[in-house]
Chain A
């Protein structure tokens, strides 16, 4: 009876999945609530809270802000991470180990501390809080990640192609733009997607460093002060859907890459 031995495993896995999915299911289900409170009994389904959400100007502005901050800060983090990874993977420079530690350092510190450091510094310099400053914070938290992802994929197998380009007279910059970047496009895009998802979700830095223009997580947090409402469920469901889409793209790209390389 070998299947009998699988029963405890199957039970544990089922319970674990119930635990993992319980809040998500409740969130999504009650975003379709036809009533004032996102708690049982469930009435509906109704799309009224989604309509309400799309009519909420504050929420829509925050959505736009989040998209702008996530896109720009991730693009910068991916670009800088790519350039740094290129130097460290291809050149023997002095202090390479130290440079690697420095680039990875922000990942070992809480977002709260990074945000506080920037807040105290900008406050002292008289720089006022803004979305741009939030973007700087997001570059800092995403740069180590982008660097690590891209660096880990800069395999030696690309070296020969790069060297060929060199021998045919291409400059370093031409090689990087015309050869290395296209070969690594899936990795670069995967790094960008992961960074964009993290920036899109990030709360504490955005909360500390923004003032009038805020991002979506900050707006949702402020909505929570007014109490439980299915509108937050609707907004949360949309945010979740967008995150999942970006992560899925990143996963698909990295899988395809692995298969291509055999």
Chain B
């Protein structure tokens, strides 16, 4: 559309130009500034229960020399990676079926149905899995009643349960992002490949899969970032078998009120998230439609 920029009819205050200011101010005051302060506090020291503005890397040294804290970081990265990969593997076929096998007029309904439990409360969702997995939960009772097992399998309160909780949540999310991507791929590409003699598998590997990478990337990024910063799921489902980094941060805050140490760990977590963001950045553009 041709655009004519004209001077405002009335002079003086140009409201539209300044309408962005409140949003920017709020974001700077309550997002940017707190992050900067947290970075500063991570160099401070707590002496006799009081914070002292020093400039020392002692907190970081302490963090990286305590093996249980470093372990927590690596546990978190591992859990987030495994949960993200498994979610992609489970969600892709579902999204593919929804996009290409389910008849057009049912697709929307089936998709909404597939992601509906996404909106169960976050705390409640982990709790529900605890009910399903517990020793007298529905799976153990069912398996015992048909005689497959005598003793209940202990499925809750371990890393597997934590991963399962995440996978459940992100299978839904990734189904959504991958589906949205798949339906945008023009069918003529696949038809052309088939006409040129490609088998179904070849069409999938050489056409559909490469073109659906952005949908996978967006979903996987969100899944990874949420998983690595999540406190509730490991806290409820993981039991006390191992510590993940968000739990370690909460311990520093709740038990020790050690803000410098908690800041160090938050900054480390943020570094991991930022690196992930940079790796995915090219898929995370925002367009105005």
Chain A residues with CB under 8 Å of chain B are 6, 9, 12-13, 16-17, 19-24, 26-27, 30, 37-41, 80-81, 83-84, 86-93, 99-100, 102-106, 108-114, 116-121, 123-124, 136-137, 139-140, 143, 147-148, 151-156, 159, 166-167, 169, 171-173, 176, 197, 200-204, 208, 216-217, 220-221, 224, 228, 232-233, 235-236, 239-240, 243-244, 247, 251
Tell me which residues across on chain B come within 8 A of A201, comparing CB atoms.
119, 121-122
Report the Cα distance A244→B32, complex, angstroms.
33
Is B124 touching A108 in the complex (CB atoms < 8 A)? no
Number of interface residues of B (CB under 8 A): 85
Q: Which one of A12, A40, A91 lies within 8 Å of B136 (CB-CB)? A: A40
Is B20 touching A228 in the complex (CB atoms < 8 A)? no
Please name 30 pairs of A and B residues whose Cβ atoms are closer than 8 Å in the assembled complex, sorted by A.
Answer: A9-B101, A12-B97, A17-B114, A26-B138, A27-B124, A81-B23, A87-B19, A99-B20, A102-B27, A103-B24, A108-B225, A108-B277, A110-B270, A111-B229, A112-B269, A116-B253, A117-B266, A119-B259, A136-B30, A143-B23, A147-B23, A152-B289, A155-B288, A172-B16, A176-B19, A203-B123, A220-B121, A228-B131, A228-B134, A236-B128
Is B24 touching A116 in the complex (CB atoms < 8 A)? no
Minimum CB–CB distance for B104 against chain A, Å? 15
Is A124 touching B9 in the complex (CB atoms < 8 A)? no
Chain B residues with CB under 8 Å of chain A are 1, 5, 8-10, 14-20, 22-24, 26-28, 30-35, 37-38, 41, 51, 90, 93-94, 97-98, 101-102, 112-114, 116-117, 119-125, 127-132, 134, 136-138, 141, 168, 171-172, 225-226, 228-232, 236, 246, 249, 253, 259, 262-263, 266, 269-270, 273-274, 277, 286-289
Report the Cα distance A95→B288, complex, angstroms.
17
Is B120 touching A104 in the complex (CB atoms < 8 A)? no
Chain A minimum-CB-distance residue to B137: A39
Report the Cα distance A228→B129, complex, angstroms.
12
Is A23 touching B125 in the complex (CB atoms < 8 A)? yes
Is B41 touching A120 in the complex (CB atoms < 8 A)? yes
A-B contact count (CB 8 A): 265
Minimum CB–CB distance for B134 against chain A, Å? 7
- Given the interface contacts A87-B17, A151-B288, does A21 sit within 8 Å of B171 by beta carbon? no
Main SS class of interface, B? helix
Tell me which residues across on chain A come within 8 A of B121, comparing CB atoms.
200-201, 216-217, 220, 236, 239-240, 243
Is A17 touching B26 in the complex (CB atoms < 8 A)? no
Tell me which residues across on chain A come within 8 A of B15, comparing CB atoms.
171-173, 176
Report the Cα distance A244→B112, complex, angstroms.
11
Is A24 touching B120 in the complex (CB atoms < 8 A)? yes
Is B266 touching A38 in the complex (CB atoms < 8 A)? no
Minimum CB–CB distance for A73 against chain B, Å? 11
Tell me which residues across on chain B come within 8 A of A224, comparing CB atoms.
123, 127, 236
Chain A minimum-CB-distance residue to B124: A236
Tell me which residues across on chain A come within 8 A of B112, comparing CB atoms.
251
Report the Cα distance A145→B79, complex, angstroms.
27
- Given the interface contacts A113-B273, A121-B37, does A83 sit within 8 Å of B138 by beta carbon? no
